[in-house]
Amino acid sequence: TPLYSSAASDVYKRQIIKEFPTGDDVRDATLVNQAIETQVRRTPGQYLWAHRRFKTRPWGEPQVYQPRRGKVLRRYTIALSLLALPVVAYTAWTALRQRDRRYLLERLGLGQNDIHADIYLHAASIGEINAALPLLRLIQNQYPDLRVLVSLNTPGGRQVAEKQLGNRVQYSYMPIDWQWAVARHLRRIQPQCVLIMETELWPNLYEYCYQHGIHSIIVNARLSARSTQSAKIIQQWQNRAIQYAY
């Protein structure tokens, strides 16, 4: 009978996998995999060397270890870093023009207050928030106890959202897709589900949700023919984002 073991309190303990083998190869493989996962979660330090490269886990379960980033996402991070100066300058100019200090801070991932929400919906601007209004109202009518946060990329989109939805939901600006900014932003919110309208494909956002067991769902998804004919590296970034979607 197969065993698995761990060292606990200086005592070497063993636990038997019951009813094994069952005669069903799929069932046997499942039992072994479950035993391995249970043991890794109990004593992760003993298994770090063997499991750090594992990149799969059941949906809805966070990663035991953060997987290494592939070349595609490393190149994406480098590209964002090279664009940081003009992006920050444009964000500051927009905040100054709109006289909105909150826009500058939140777009740079420096929002201060925790804004916990059960459902987090992101709409880029005015067109996306108008498309999301029926869904938001349906959620509010059927699940009035759920806390909803709406994030946007532009001050104009936020103004429309606040006019249409009032104080029934919370609001925020989506930070630029820097890895640290996205992580900080989502730790402030701690959502159970992220709904992203239409064509917003941000690899770091989707990757963080995937690694932390947050369902990221693209609503009314669409890609134009122009998007499918973009540069190969852009297509790779888009593909990686879609792979991480739920």
Enumerate the active-site residues: 128
Q: Could you tell me whether strands 193-197 and 119-122 are parallel, antiparallel, or unpaired per DSSP bridges? A: parallel
- As a whole number of angstroms, the distance between CA 78 and CA 233 comes to 12
- As a whole number of angstroms, the distance between CA 231 and CA 8 comes to 53
SS3 content of the chain, % helix, strand, coil (to 5): 50, 15, 35
Q: How many CA atoms lie within 13 A of 136 on its CB side?
A: 27
- As a whole number of angstroms, the distance between CA 159 and CA 167 comes to 12
- As a whole number of angstroms, the distance between CA 187 and CA 222 comes to 28
Specify the residue for token string 């270890």: 65
Helix (H, G, I), strand (E, B) or coil at 11: strand
Q: How many CA atoms lie within 13 A of 245 on its CB side?
A: 18
Q: Which of 8, 10, 6 is nearest to 35 (CA)?
A: 6
- As a whole number of angstroms, the distance between CA 15 and CA 7 comes to 12
- As a whole number of angstroms, the distance between CA 147 and CA 2 comes to 47
